[in-house]
Chains A and B, each alone.
Chain A
Amino acid sequence: MTADDRRARPRAFRLDPQGQVAEAAMAQPVSKPPQIEIELQPDPYELKPVALPVDEAVVEMAQRRGMLGWFRLGWGGLFWSALGGLVSLGIGLWIDGLIEQLFSRAAGLGWIAVALAALVVLALLALTIREVIGVFRQAHVAKLHAALAAAHLADDTDAARRLVGELAALYAQRSSTAAARAEITRTTGEIVDGRDLLDITERLLLHPIDAAVAREIAEAAKRVSLVTAISPRAILDLVFVVGQIIRLIRRVAELYSGRPGFLGFVKLARSVGAHLAVTGGMAIGDSLLQQVVGHGIAAKLSARLGEGVLNGLLTTRVGLSAMAVCRPMPFAAGPQPGVKDVAPFLFGASQDS
């Protein structure tokens, strides 16, 4: 029973109105005054964040609008869907007619046409499945993101354990995450608070991907500013910028969860747009000044160079929005990197590095 003896006994210290230990409480003889100090501790329940951080609320709003949203059928949508249906029927009719004609010409040709048509149908089916998977994957990521944010806020250990498992499953196909996944499985079994488990997971699993995404954004920004600076015609660099932005969004989604597919991409782009619309003036607003200054200096050197920097900035911002929206986990362990962290070269820092 030695452990028992060492355990501290219950104690009481009577306090006077000033919050100090009252004299009467000191049972020990006066010759040896006991050293009793009382140090008030900050309220542990106040330390928790009051609500979702603003950034997080914006991300979830953006995800709801795109990745989780359904396509709403307005009159325009109805028009295009109906027209599309008619065109598909027309194509079907045409193929049918073609096959019949080929049969009437020669049976062999007809069979070849049938086989080709079957291949078309098969490929179409595969494409559709891929699209559906892409859309569902995006929705899954958005739901996971919201659940993880809630678990982090509530410091909910049970939810954290479950969600971390789901998160690891998302990356089960990637061999480069094997060590991180094993480590997370180990940690999940130990006694750990919900919030700590989530932070550990974020550090192990997502930070490497974050770095890859940041690199991707930086490269796209570099390419865009370079091409804008040297392209002979405005329309050419416009096409190039749009192409690069589409590629960048797809790439970010691919790194975080997997290929979005075409429909998934459309939903994703909607989310990125919604996120950009809010954060354009707010979250990245702190660096607005530098952006203007940077643009000013570059523009003084050459108008084309200035435009190049501006287009680079635009690409970076889109990339960062895509990063926030595609990430299956909120930025909790650290803040999201800003424009300056990802693309320092746009601010003339490249000379140093």
Chain B
Amino acid sequence: MPERSVTFFSNLLSEAQITARSVADYMGGTGLRLGVTGLSRAGKTVFITSLVHNLTAGGRLPVLRASAEGRITSATLQAQPDDAIPRFTYEDHLASLTLDRHWPESTRRISELRINLEFERQAGWRSRTGSLTLDIIDYPGEWLLDLPLLDKSFAQWSRETLEASAEAGRAGLAADWRGGLQGLRLEDAFSETAARHQAERFTAYLRASKSDRYALSTLPPGRFLMPGELEGSPALTFAPLPVTEGAAYGATTMAGMMERRYEAYKTHVVRPFFRDHFSRLDRQIVLVDALGALNSGPSAVRDLQVALGDVMQSFRAGRASRLASLFRPRIDRILFAATKADHLHHTSHDRLEAILRVLTARAITRAEDVGAKIDVIALAATRATREARVTHDGAQLEAIIGTPLAGERVDGELFDGVAEAAIFPGELPADPRRALRGDALAVPDTEADYRFVRFRPPVAQSGEGGQAKPLPHIRLDRALQFLIGDKLA
């Protein structure tokens, strides 16, 4: 079993590296590492931009106690600790939000930002002033899907992917790729052309599944969707094959080579990403775009549930102790946030939170068992709508008013991105489990019980000196109070 022992040693090595880094962090007094996790489209970039803007420009954060009590004296952006990682282009994202009223484009590469908060302590034995350094990392949400792969062999991953692609909802999307599998022999000599062909078709299937219409989530490997700087490299030229688990294939056969590349992908892409950015978090916020999946149908919601459950398994939660924070940092607070809460009326937020609770039930139980603190909220880092009651034919509808994005469609209306509209998105089910029941995927407009329209960012109010004031938000302050409030006491 030489391969197994190699895996064991490489695991041991990466463990040692994690420990070494966290000891170095501890000595260097690096502040709080806030892990902003979320699959693609969950709103990570907007969340970070809004968080930084609200903190640095003095936004209204009444529930964040330190802010409400006026104890935060300054919040500034600082030089980031890692020189090899690009800086989070906060200014560009902010300009796109406030000036052009466009949502930031989907993130293509990793970036980092550091904020330093100076505040006065409430009272007590320690010095009167305190400071907190907040390290935040933005990255393509697709990459997060890779974390569960760390524990899976090529055969296991192939089996799961093939099984998933045979499901009713996905079969149509996967037909082209699966058709290509028929002519493939596992024992054939490896050919680069065939491998690339397979990888391309497989990628096309993943891309189609991710589109808004289907909004599926469980689609590893994430770099296929967002390759970053690895585009075209051998580590990305593989695809799942119907291999038998436990069987050994020759190194030059198709199956053997694909397996090798899969392992290379894990070793050179996934593990460093995890080690460098996720293994040493103190607090975590998990952003979930439940509305996109709800738009598509129960099948997509269930898929999101599976994806979240798998991803969350990779994180280390637990009560933080002095010793643990030195050698083996653990996440002691996890906030699950259903983003884009401004897309529905506040009276529906409880139902949205209930659905999120069901989606993340596995992760919540696991985290609570080991003593981490958990909260679930509906959140909108940037609030694009107002609320209104529409009386129509004697019926009263709780609606929201905003500017829908160009091309959005609801109730037979196609929007141009300029006109405002009052939208009644439909009612979420009172029993959250109903949102997961059924096999429907990509439900057409005419049959949908709810349809959540995406809105353009709101018009920014300008404050003194022409600088845009922080955009309104929903419960961003509550999220911050939960995540960093205790460190600001």
Q: 1/0 per residue A195-216: CB within 8 Å of B?
A: 0000000000000000000000
Task: Give B383 Cβ to nearest chain A Cβ, in Å.
Answer: 8
Whether B421 pairs with A14 at a CB distance below 8 angstroms is yes
Q: 1/0 per residue B395-414: CB within 8 Å of A?
A: 10101010010000011110
Whether B394 pairs with A15 at a CB distance below 8 angstroms is no
Whether A13 pairs with B419 at a CB distance below 8 angstroms is no
Could you jot down 24 A-B contacts, CB within 8 Å?
A: A7-B427, A10-B451, A11-B424, A12-B404, A12-B411, A14-B419, A14-B421, A15-B401, A15-B420, A15-B421, A17-B420, A22-B419, A37-B391, A38-B389, A41-B386, A41-B387, A43-B387, A45-B346, A48-B63, A49-B62, A150-B65, A153-B63, A154-B478, A158-B375
Interface positions of B from 99 to 157, Cβ below 8 Å from A: 123
Cβ of A34 within 8 Å of any chain B Cβ, yes or no, is yes
Task: Give B366 Cβ to nearest chain A Cβ, in Å.
Answer: 18
Chain A positions near chain B (C-beta within 8 angstroms): 4, 7-17, 19, 21-22, 25, 27, 34-41, 43-45, 48-52, 57, 64, 150, 153-154, 158
Whether B426 pairs with A38 at a CB distance below 8 angstroms is no
Whether A34 pairs with B392 at a CB distance below 8 angstroms is yes
Whether B426 pairs with A13 at a CB distance below 8 angstroms is no
Whether B422 pairs with A15 at a CB distance below 8 angstroms is yes
Cβ of B91 within 8 Å of any chain A Cβ, yes or no, is no
Task: Give B250 Cβ to nearest chain A Cβ, in Å.
Answer: 56
Q: A34-B392, A36-B391, A51-B62 are in contact. Are A11 and B386 (CB under 8 A)?
A: no
Whether B412 pairs with A15 at a CB distance below 8 angstroms is no
Q: A25-B413, A51-B68 are in contact. Are A8 and B391 (CB under 8 A)?
A: no
Residue from the list B63, B390, B450 in contact with A13, Cβ < 8 A: B390
Interface positions of B from 353 to 395, Cβ below 8 Å from A: 375, 386-395
Chain B residues contacting A45 (CB-CB under 8 Å) are: 346, 472, 474-475
Chain B interface mostly: mixed
Chain B residues contacting A44 (CB-CB under 8 Å) are: 346, 387
Question: Across the two chains, which residue of chain A brings its CB closest to B386?
Answer: A40
> Total interface residues on B, using CB and 8 Å?
46
Q: In whole angstroms, what is the CA distance A52 to B404 when docked?
A: 37
Residue from the list B60, B388, B397, B478 in contact with A8, Cβ < 8 A: B397
Chain B residues contacting A158 (CB-CB under 8 Å) are: 375
Question: Across the two chains, which residue of chain B brings its CB closest to A34?
Answer: B393
Chain B residues contacting A34 (CB-CB under 8 Å) are: 392-393
Question: Across the two chains, which residue of chain B brings its CB closest to A68?
Answer: B123
Task: Give B264 Cβ to nearest chain A Cβ, in Å.
Answer: 45
Chain A residues contacting B399 (CB-CB under 8 Å) are: 11, 13, 38
Residue from the list B390, B426, B475 in contact with A36, Cβ < 8 A: B390
Q: In whole angstroms, what is the CA distance A27 to B392 when docked?
A: 13
Task: Give A12 Cβ to nearest chain B Cβ, in Å.
Answer: 4
Task: Give B421 Cβ to nearest chain A Cβ, in Å.
Answer: 5
Chain B residues contacting A57 (CB-CB under 8 Å) are: 69
Interface positions of B from 47 to 80, Cβ below 8 Å from A: 60, 62-63, 65, 68-69
Cβ of B220 within 8 Å of any chain A Cβ, yes or no, is no
Task: Give B449 Cβ to nearest chain A Cβ, in Å.
Answer: 6
Q: In whole angstroms, what is the CA distance A159 to B453 when docked?
A: 33
Chain A residues contacting B68 (CB-CB under 8 Å) are: 50-52
Chain A residues contacting B256 (CB-CB under 8 Å) are: none
Residue from the list B62, B392, B422, B449 in contact with A7, Cβ < 8 A: B449
Whether A64 pairs with B123 at a CB distance below 8 angstroms is yes
Cβ of B164 within 8 Å of any chain A Cβ, yes or no, is no
Chain B residues contacting A36 (CB-CB under 8 Å) are: 390-392
Whether A10 pairs with B410 at a CB distance below 8 angstroms is yes
